[in-house]
Structure 1
Amino acid sequence: MMDDLVRLAETASDSLLEAAASSRYVRVVSHSDPDGITAAAILSTALFRLDVPFHITLVSRFEEGVLDVIRSSAADLVVLCDMGSGQPELVGRIDEEVIVLDHHRPVGEHRCIHVNPHLVGLDGSFELSASGVAYFVARAMGENVDLSSLAILGALGDKQSMRGANGFILKEASLSGAVERDHGLMLPDGELESVLFRSLDPYFEFSGDSEMVDEFLSQLNLSGRISALDYGSLRRLASALALMLLKRGAVEAIDSLIGEKYQFAHEVIPDAIELLSIVKACGMLEEPGLALSLCLRDDSVLEDARTLEEKGRERVLDTLKMAQRAVSERENLRYVILSDVKGTGVIADTMVRYVFPEKPFLVLNQTPEIVKVSARGTRRQVSEGLDLAIALRDAATLLGGVGGGHNIASGASIPPGTEEEMIELVNEAIGRQLRGRE
């Protein structure tokens, strides 16, 4: 499968190398989440090193308006990153030569160069993200192994494991010195009070509540910086945090509380946890260009990016507290309806991972023009038959909207006023899936 993936990536790299030889203008369009941002950074860096003229556009959804943007650019070649595999009709309406670099489950037939792990028997939900696909293309274009750290960051942003093709990239990154690996508590360094108060991933019941944090640390008799804690103190902290998650039934979250941590040799922020948090916040607050600059290794934007991350973290913590009080439940899912908030994907992911792990979780975000839906499940639910990509795509289509994504994480856009119908359609679909009727 890996050899097949490499050969598939080479079909895209050959076209891009031809663009370099003939000075063709390349338009890169990518998703504005961490995986899409890192994919765009990988590809654009590889193009820059070959003196290929290019322009990057980051978008939240691949829709009709994106085609208008592409048409206005007079590009010779269009590369779609982290999008396109599920929308062959839309891709087919692009007049220019197209390359699709994606990891979502393919739908229909694509009449273009199409690189996707699913096409070679790899699982795009867990084993390779769009940034990983972009990396395989970039490594075929030249000496770009230093970009492997960005592929790892994108995979972490999509909650993927470091196995399969991701494991291949990690091994290559480690051998080249691009990434250093360590084992420990999956929290950034800093003062304990501040780190725990600000913690979103993992999310604890005291996150955003300074009094609860102080009480928790007082009971453990802990203080100071995380990096200064001795082994016994770290073990005591980890055990207490794990017990807190266990009481909520967040078993999968416990497994990721202690694990492998990464330091990046070539990135402007070496700590993978901190860099991912900032990139995620920039995308959520509709400043993906700032995150892209970071991933292009521009340290002049560091202060602005960190300020934005703090603003985004505060906003999400406030929204999470509000959302927890408004959660409703159906037979096969939990959901919350919110109004014009940022970070619905983060909220859905946090809810199902740390607060309500028993059932898939939907966040419906009402705006004047459209209702955005984010859905998340757990790996256990996926192993039992859950496929949120199919559930949301089919339900949204019936309501005149669009949807899709991965079996474990998906999204949709539906017309205002169809929220209750959407909830019921997805509830019924999940019920059929988990009962094995599909």
Structure 2
Amino acid sequence: MGAWAQLRALRRDFLGYLLDAARLGDLVLLRPAPGVKIWLVNHPELIFEVLVSRAAEMQKSAMTNKMVGKFLGQGLVLAEGELHRQQRRAIQPAFRGSVVAALSPAIEAATTAATRSWRDGQAVEIEGTMTRLSLLIIAQLLFGEGEGARGGTDASLQRAMERFGESMAQRFRSMPLPNWLPTARRRAERAAIEVFDHAIAKHLETSPSDSLATKLLALGLAPAEIRDHIATLYFAGHETTAKWLTWTLWLIARDPELGERLRDDESDALLNRVLLESLRLYPPAWLFDRETTTELELGGYAIPKRSTLYLSPFVSHRDPRYFDAPDQFCPERFVGGFEASLPRGAYYPFGFGPRNCVGRPLAELTARVALRDLLKRWRFSVDPKLELRPQPASTLRPTTPLYLTIHPH
């Protein structure tokens, strides 16, 4: 398929384009636009090699820097080398088990507050609610439980986040354009960044001494560095969790019997399997990319320096070599530690290696505590004929708003 035909296929259905490409082999050269070459890495051993054993020979791609660099700056997502290692060391303590576990009461309280207006028989728009919930939780981590955290969920800041997500969705479906071209999308992006930066500066002034933001200030970092840290943690910390909760609630709502079993599950064993299977089918971080910093051999092919590699959990998690009935929602596949039996690189919703998700403990705790609280108090239902298609953007999101009908237990 020529470059123009691939571009049309990509714009029509990017995920389908990647799935079709993966059927061609374990390492596939894509040409999604004239002059553009990207390698799709589609075997667990090669994925693990890229993310772990040869991570030092990789960096985030120029494409990713172009797409999110203006918003995230040189925060943890885009920093490289020693700067990235320093940032991990500075931020990691905030996500240790004991620190995160102490947030359980706050997560439960935030879940109750976010759903306080729900009424019997109401059709609730789920993605927006889960986004507000996740925003409040990450704001409490960053800015504490005072005015700063409450400000972290203000409407203007939420709209800035939404504008950024919409911009990413548009970028994934269009040809790259020159940076100097003053498009409406770029004007909207600049406006969203200005709103975000103003809000963050305001919240920093009111953060208590035990907040992560204040601790970053105490490290003596430059204001621009602190801003980039907060932008990265704020966006990545709420966006992925919100989408994880959204997809999981939709899957549960389609199976009323499963909802009842989850309500009665005292051990959380079934809930954990549901969460793992939700991440398999709809991983919010649906695509990772890397750029080679040197010429290297991968899977028997010579990969030139500065080559872009794509690794897609959305694609890998549907590989029939490792997952029976890969398109079916089947939480029972994770009985008995199934994920541990898989080849390294077959299931990687949070990534691997030195760039794995630093916020994973918080995301997992938020998902468990929030869902436990929601399922204890509410039953969710949806038209079983509703097919919710995923849309690739900065995270994997539904193409249309998701409304679930709720009833109290």
Return the TM-score normalized by structure 1: 0.28
- Higher helix fraction (1 or 2): 2
TM-score, normalization by structure 2: 0.29
Higher relative contact order (CA 8 A, sep 6+): 2
